[in-house]
Amino acid sequence: SSTALRVGTVWACVRVFSETLGSLPFKVYRRVENGKLEDPTHPLYRLIHDSPNPAMTAMEFWKLAAQRICTHGNFYARIVMDEREVVRSLRPLDPSRMRVIRDPITELLVYVYTPQGGPSVPYLADEVLHIPGLGYDGEDNLTGLDPIAIHAQSLGLTLDAEGYASRFFANNANHGTWLYNPQTMTEPKKREFLTWFMDNFGGVKNSGKPAILDNGLELRSLPINHQQMQFIETRKYQVEEICRIFRVPPHLVQDLARSTNNNIEHQAIDFVTHTIRPWAEMIEQRINMSLFGPREGSRYFAEFNLDSILRGDAVSRAE
């Protein structure tokens, strides 16, 4: 996932998704006859809305949750309770160090966590808040699918294209350059000469520096046509492809090629409706199932407030 985040579009998609979700107000409500009432007195309200643990704000915590869902397919947090079994904090766990298994005897889920430099620690399902991503991995449906692994080939194409561009410009925007020598050279002599030549005339730092060759040496290059290669088109298509993977409108990652003043506002609304809202509901349901339980769940529930970003377009608000 760290390699994929080096791709600018992946970084931008993960950032816009996680920051949008993390910035939403997340509150605890009590069910009443005519609807719901916000309940700041509930013990979980402070954890969900303000600070899930002493080291993180609510935005930092939920932003991290969204980021790890995007890059690993799962988010895990340790549920820390006091002696009265009241939840006191939620502490994130590295998904790359987590293994989820089902006990063959009890058929209960066990979360086996291996911290860096320490022994593995097993946690029961009621000790871990687990938010899986899209789909499930494996026959037992225990963990969410890793989107980076699923789309490794597509992301690899983007990395290859960026690597090619980097090497191309590092080589002074020349491709297929070779040296012709009518005389025979030994392999050690070739390596020695090539090292000398690249140190003195290769790379951007030596751009425009004239080379003086003797002993009949000639500098030749093979022509290359980036238009025929559709190099620029490939780079543009990969931006669209990555946006498609994360379901983020291209204009939110600064690709305005197909955006207009008429459609960009509706694209933003569509992003909230079809990207943020489903994930918000999934996190809400996991919170309600894991933290409230069946008894409290009949009276209380947690809910994101999407009203701040889902208010329709300017004309609809005016009307």
pLDDT of residue 255: 73
Of the two residues 175 and 150, the one the predictor is more confident about is 150
Of these ranges, 30-34, 64-68, 158-162, the one predicted with the greatest mean pLDDT is: 64-68
Q: Is the dihedral of CA 277, 278, 280, 285 positive or negative?
A: positive
**Complete DSSP assignment for 152-180:** HHHHHHHHHHHHHHHHHHHTTT--SEEEE
Reduce the DSSP state of residue 219 to 3 states and report it. Answer: strand
Query: Based on the number of CB atoms within 10 Å of its own CB, is 86 exposed (0-12), middle (13-18) or buried (19 or more)?
Result: exposed
Contact 245, 17 (CB under 8 A): no
Q: How many CB atoms lie within 10 A of CB 245?
A: 18
pLDDT of residue 308: 66
Percent of the chain with pLDDT over 70: 71
Q: Kindly report the pTM of this predicted structure.
A: 0.73
pLDDT tier, 194 (very low <50, low <70, confident <90, very high otherwise): confident
227-269 pLDDT, tens per residue? 544 445 556 667 888 888 888 988 888 776 666 666 677 777 8
pLDDT of residue 53: 96
Q: How large is the C-alpha radius of gyration of the chain? A: 27
Q: Which residue, among 8, 51, 68, has the nearest Cα to 279 in the 3D structure?
A: 68
Contact 251, 265 (CB under 8 A): no
Q: Which residue, among 59, 51, 118, has the nearest Cα to 90 in the 3D structure?
A: 51
pLDDT of residue 54: 95
Q: In angstroms, rounded to a whole number, what is the distance separating the alpha carbons of residues 241 and 100?
A: 31
204-226 pLDDT, tens per residue? 566 666 766 666 677 666 555 54
pLDDT of residue 229: 45
For the chain, the average pLDDT equals: 80
Q: In angstroms, rounded to a whole number, what is the distance separating the alpha carbons of residues 89 and 66?
A: 18
Of the two residues 175 and 221, the one the predictor is more confident about is 221
pLDDT of residue 3: 74
Percent of the chain with pLDDT over 90: 39
